[in-house]
Structure formats: structure tokens, C-alpha cells
Amino acid sequence: MPETSPDISGNLDHIRARIRRAAAAAGRDPAEIRLVAVSKYMPVEFLQQAIRSGHYIFGENTLQEAAAKLRAIQDPRVEWHFIGHLQSNKARFIPGNFHWLHTLDSLKLARKLSDAWDGTQPPLQVLLQVNIAHDPRKYGLAPDSTPEFAADLLQLELPGISLRGLMTIGREHATPVDRSHDFAALRRLRDGIAARPGMDCFSELSMGMSDDFEIAIAEGATIIRIGSSIFGPRPQVSA
């Protein structure tokens, strides 16, 4: 745990101002950009501070860590996003606990997520994770096979999931030009899928983190995932 508390409320204000500026520069409405505060490795108190300053959207990447936070923060205003890789044998923990999943990459996982939905809540909002830059160290669908994957998924007519769009994680050590190129490629992929029949709700683009969210907004991001710029640096972990 970090030794000194970051100024979470101030950091959130600062990020919101940067979102407004980036949106204005791109001729976009900042209200169409959802800010997910990535709270992985951060203590519950930090999330509570964010909630007190009016922020209610959080992203977690492991079930184990998220479970403790979900238990501690039972606030109906909070919207939980699962942004980590998920094995299909863990799918049953998602519906009912999380509102969004950013990392769908297999039909098997999709079926299990839908099977675990009890029908009392809205369906899980789902994004397909795309490995847009073909990075062998990253999870996600190959860009070329993503449209077909989306079509197969639609055919399954799974009631417990709502297919909302695409997500990607930017390349490490990439230049701004490379990032912008990758984000634009994700947007074109989304546009192609959204144009198909039955895909009217396929409008979301989850891309951009602390060091590249302004580029992502310029390229059409509708969801940005920001951790360290809100909560401070994460403790070093070997993972």
C-alpha cells in the first residue's frame, strides 16, 4: 500500500478537465466519455474517497481483489467494470457483481457468462478484447477474426449478455503516432461491426489509459480506463 494518500478528489478534477479539453479539441461531447477509475491494488479507502468526491465507476482486474471491495462497498450507485483476463471457469462470479466486462475473447466464456445470469438484473454489458497490434504477450482476438466472432456471438442469442463494443490495451513503449494508429484501427473495426444488422448497440470503444487517454479520445474512445493518474503509482508487483 502506498505510504502517503494521493489527493484523489483533486486528481479526479484534473482528469475530468483534461477529458473536457481533449473532447473539445476533437469536437466531441465530453458527456459521451465514461471514465473508469482503475482501482486494482488500491485499498478500499481510496475507492471510498473517490465516491465521496462523486465518482462511481470503478475497474478491477482480479476476482479475488474485487470480491473484498464489492463486499466493503455495497453502494447501488457504483458501476463495476471487470477489466482483467477471465477464465471461463470463473465466469459465474461476474453477473450480479459486475455491470461491464471488457475482456470477452471466447464463445465458451460468453455462454458461461450468459448461463450465470439470473434474469433479475440487466444483462452484462460486454466488450470484445482485441489485440489490435498483434502483440504476442497480450490477450484478445486477432483484429481479422473479430467481425466473424461478433457475428457468431450474435447468432447464439445469449440473453445474459449485451454486446456493446470493443476494448484494447495500448502497446507498451509505443510512440504517440503508433498509438493513434492502433486506436484508429480499433475504431474502424467497431464501425464495420456496428454497420451490420442487429448490431445497433455496438457503439463503445474502451481504449486509453493514464498515459494515452487524450490520444484515445481524439480517436473516438467512449470509455477510458485510468488508474495511476487518479490513485497514484501502484505498488510494484511481479505479474
Ligand X SMILES: *Cc1c(COP(=O)(O)O)cnc(C)c1O
Q: Which stretch binds ligand X (CB under 6 A): 20-28, 69-77, 91-99, 223-231?
A: 223-231
CB of 61 or CB of 146, closer to ligand X: 61
Q: Mask: binding to ligand X, 100-139, rule CB under 6 A, as x and -?
A: ----------------------------------------
Binding mask 163-202 for ligand X (x = CB under 6 A): ------x---------------------------------
- What would the grid cell of residue 162 be? 449485451
d(CA 10, CA 32): 22
Of the candidates 22, 38, 50, 130, which one interacts with ligand X according to CB under 6 A? Answer: 38
CA distance 88 to 116: 11
Q: Is 220 in the site for ligand X (CB under 6 A)?
A: no
Closer residue to ligand X in complex, CB, 37/158: 37
Among 57, 83, 110, 124, binds ligand X (CB under 6 A): 83
Q: Which of 11, 49, 61, 222 binds ligand X (CB under 6 A)?
A: 61
Q: Of 53 and 151, which CB lies nearer to ligand X in the complex structure?
A: 53
Taking the C-alpha atoms of residue 138 and residue 55, their distance in angstroms, rounded to an integer, is 30
Cβ–Cβ < 8 Å for 34, 224? yes
Residue 10, judged by CB atoms within 10 A of its CB (0-12, 13-18, 19+), counts as exposed
- Is 225 among the residues that bind ligand X (CB under 6 A)? yes
- With beta carbons less than 8 A apart as the criterion, state whether 83 and 61 touch: yes
Nearer to ligand X, 106 or 192 (CB): 106
Q: Is 120 helix (H, G, I), strand (E, B) or coil?
A: coil
Q: Residues in the site for ligand X, rule: CB under 6 A?
A: 38, 40, 61, 83, 169, 209-210, 225-229
